[in-house]
Amino acid sequence: MRLVKIFKSVENELSTMEQEINTWAKGTGSTIISVTGNIAPQTRSTASQGFSASDVLLVVLYEPVE
């Protein structure tokens, strides 16, 4: 049976997200079928008049160890 795992973060924390995904993948021993991602467009922050970090979403399709 194939399952889905969703990871969500912001673009300025991508290295932390990468570590989280790699730790999860190694810990489960599951077979990863595919990884699909999306990054939201940056929006102007009213407080700082700069751009806020964009949301990043990764969807991992995997088969768990039986």
pLDDT digits (tens, 9 = 90+) for 24-65: 999 999 999 999 999 987 766 666 666 678 899 999 999 999
| Residue 52, pLDDT score | 76
For the cut 80, the answer to whether the pLDDT of residue 22 exceeds it is yes
For the cut 90, the answer to whether the pLDDT of residue 17 exceeds it is yes
| Residue 24, pLDDT score | 96
Which one has a higher pLDDT value, 11 or 49?
A: 11
Separation between Cα atoms, residue 33 and residue 1, nearest integer Å:
12
Predicted TM-score (pTM) of the model is 0.81
